[in-house]
Amino acid sequence: MEAYRDQYASLFNDGRDVVLVAISGDSLEELQSWAADSDFQFLFGSDPGSSIYSAFGGDPRDNGMVGSRAVIVVGPDGRIAHVIPQFNQVDPAAYEELARAIDRVTPEPEGN
């Protein structure tokens, strides 16, 4: 999550017209503490049974934990615009793909 935090301004337009929600199997209390300690700029949601992850096509491990990081880009119309089922957070190309997907659904700023 630190990589998302560190690239937040460029990847997620510094929060303009983009909302980032990280969904984890951790409890709300754990997520709240972690988010505050690490100064994350985005929202967290708790999904202890991986039902949200599964609903978007994720395949949880036998222990119910997320098998890999999935990234889902939802457009302004509320529809899924792009899915990266196995996001490799250490690969710069993964962030380039994510940035392109976000740019496709993010309105241009006024005056441009």
Contacts of 95 (CB under 8 A, 6+ apart): 3, 7, 11
Contacts of 101 (CB under 8 A, 6+ apart): 73, 81, 82, 84
pLDDT at 68: 65
pLDDT at 1: 66
pLDDT average per 10 residues of sequence, the chain (112 residues): 71 74 82 82 80 73 66 82 80 87 79 59
pLDDT at 63: 66
pTM for the whole structure: 0.67
Helix or strand holding residue 46 (H, E): strand 43-46
- The domain limits of the chain are 2-104
Q: What percentage of the chain exceeds 90 in pLDDT?
A: 0
CATH for 2-104, options being 3.50.50.60, 3.40.50.2300, 3.40.30.10, 1.10.357.10: 3.40.30.10
Q: Are 17 and 43 in contact (CB under 8 A)?
A: no
pLDDT at 36: 82
